[in-house]
C-alpha cells in the first residue's frame, strides 16, 4: 500500500507540474519479517513482541544494529525468528573487537595481512550487494585470526573502518582511542592490495594411480622438481603407499593435482 500511495502522489505532483518524474522508485527491494522468539509473527496478543529499546539499554545500539544486519541477507525476502542467544553472541563479538586494542603489536604475519585484504574485498563487495550477513561473517573470521596472531595498529584501524558501517559507535570510540582526532566516518574506505589476495600456498590433492592418498600445502610457485622431492620425502601419509611402488612418472598440474603413476611390486 505504501508503494501505491507513493506512486499516486508522485504522478499527481507530476500532473501538477511540481516534479518532472513519473515513477518514485527505480527498483524495489522486499525485506522479510523479524519473527518472535517462538517463530511466530510478533503480536501483543501472543506475548512474543521484542522491544528493541530494552535490548539497546542492556546490550547497546551497536549490538542490535549488527544483529539485525547479521540475521539474514537484506537483498532476499525471508522471515527470521529473534534469537536471544544470537544477540548475546553479537555482543560478545564486539567485546572481542574492543579487547583487540590491548594486544596490538609493531608487526604482523604475512598471513594475517593477506586475510585483512581478503576481508576488505569481501566486505566491500557484499555490502554493496546488501549481503550484510556474509560481510559480518568475514569480519568475525578475521577477528578470530587476529586474536591468535596479533595485528598492527594500521590493520586494526583499517578493520575498524569496515566495522564502522555496521557498528558506528564502538568503531568511533576505538578509532579515537588510537589517538585519531577526526571521525572514523570521515575516513576513506580501505583499499584492497590485490597483491595480498594472492595466496603463497595452495592445498593440492596427491593421488597414486588416480586414487587420492593425501593433501599437502605447496608453494604456488613450486617447480616440478620441488613437488617431486616433497611427495617422495616429506608427505608421511604417502610413505606406506610408496614402499613397493615402482614409480614411472609424477604428473603435476600446478594448483590442481599431483598424480604419482607407477606399478606395485610384489613383496
Could you tell me the pTM of the whole model?
A: 0.72
Q: What is the CATH number of domain 102-197?
A: 1.10.730.10
* Largest separation between any pair of C-alpha atoms in the chain: 96
What pLDDT was estimated at residue 12?
A: 95
**Residue 172 is placed in which grid cell?**
568511533
- Note the pLDDT tens digit of each residue in 207-236: 999 999 999 988 888 889 999 999 998 888
- Note the pLDDT tens digit of each residue in 75-87: 777 888 888 899 9
Q: Where in the chain is the domain with CATH 3.10.20.590?
A: 201-264
CB 258 within 8 A of CB 205: yes
What pLDDT was estimated at residue 219?
A: 83
Region 147-161: mean pLDDT is 96
The Cβ of residue 46 has, within 10 Å, a number of other Cβ atoms equal to 11
Fold of 201-264: Ubiquitin-like (UB roll) (3.10.20)
pLDDT top residue among 158 and 55 = 158
What is the phi-psi region of residue 15: left when phi exceeds 0, alpha when psi lies from -120 to 50, beta otherwise? alpha
Q: Where in the chain is the domain with CATH 1.10.730.10?
A: 102-197
Q: How confident is the model at residue 32 (pLDDT cuts 50, 70, 90)?
A: confident
What pLDDT was estimated at residue 267?
A: 60
The residue among 41, 51, 47, 87 whose CA lies nearest residue 67 is 87
Q: How far apart are CA 198 and CA 201, in angstroms?
A: 9
Q: How confident is the model at residue 123 (pLDDT cuts 50, 70, 90)?
A: very high
pLDDT of residue 112 exceeding 90, the answer is yes
Amino acid at each position: 500500500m505504501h508503494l501505491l500511495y507513493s506512486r499516486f502522489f508522485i504522478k499527481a505532483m507530476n500532473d501538477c507540474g511540481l516534479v518532472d518524474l513519473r515513477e518514485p522508485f527505480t527498483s524495489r527491494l522486499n525485506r522479510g519479517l523479524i519473527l518472535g522468539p517462538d517463530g511466530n509473527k510478533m503480536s501483543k496478543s501472543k506475548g512474543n513482541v521484542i522491544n528493541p529499546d530494552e535490548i539497546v539499554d542492556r546490550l547497546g545500539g551497536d549490538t542490535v544494529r549488527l544483529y539485525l544486519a547479521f540475521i539474514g541477507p537484506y537483498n532476499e525476502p525471508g522471515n527470521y525468528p529473534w534469537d536471544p542467544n544470537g544477540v548475546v553472541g553479537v555482543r560478545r563479538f564486539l567485546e572481542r573487537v574492543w579487547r583487540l586494542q590491548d594486544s596490538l603489536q609493531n608487526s604482523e604475519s604475512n598471513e594475517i595481512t593477506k586475510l585483512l585484504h581478503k576481508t576488505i574485498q569481501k566486505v566491500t563487495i557484499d555490502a554493496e550487494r546488501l549481503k550484510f550477513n556474509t560481510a559480518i561473517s568475514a569480519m568475525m573470521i578475521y577477528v578470530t585470526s587476529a586474536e591468535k596472531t596479533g595485528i598492527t595498529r594500521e590493520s586494526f584501524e583499517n578493520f575498524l573502518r569496515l566495522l564502522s558501517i555496521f557498528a558506528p559507535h564502538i568503531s568511533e570510540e576505538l578509532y579515537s582511542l588510537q589517538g585519531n582526532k577526526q571521525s572514523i566516518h570521515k575516513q576513506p574506505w580501505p583499499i584492497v592490495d590485490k597483491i595480498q589476495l594472492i595466496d603463497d600456498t595452495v592445498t593440492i590433492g596427491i593421488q597414486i594411480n588416480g586414487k587420492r592418498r593425501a593433501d599437502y600445502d605447496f608453494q604456488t610457485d613450486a617447480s616440478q622438481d620441488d613437488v617431486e622431492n616433497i611427495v617422495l620425502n616429506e608427505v608421511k601419509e604417502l610413505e606406506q603407499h610408496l614402499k613397493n611402488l615402482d614409480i614411472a612418472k609424477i604428473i603435476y598440474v600446478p594448483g590442481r593435482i599431483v598424480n604419482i603413476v607407477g606399478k606395485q611390486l610384489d613383496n
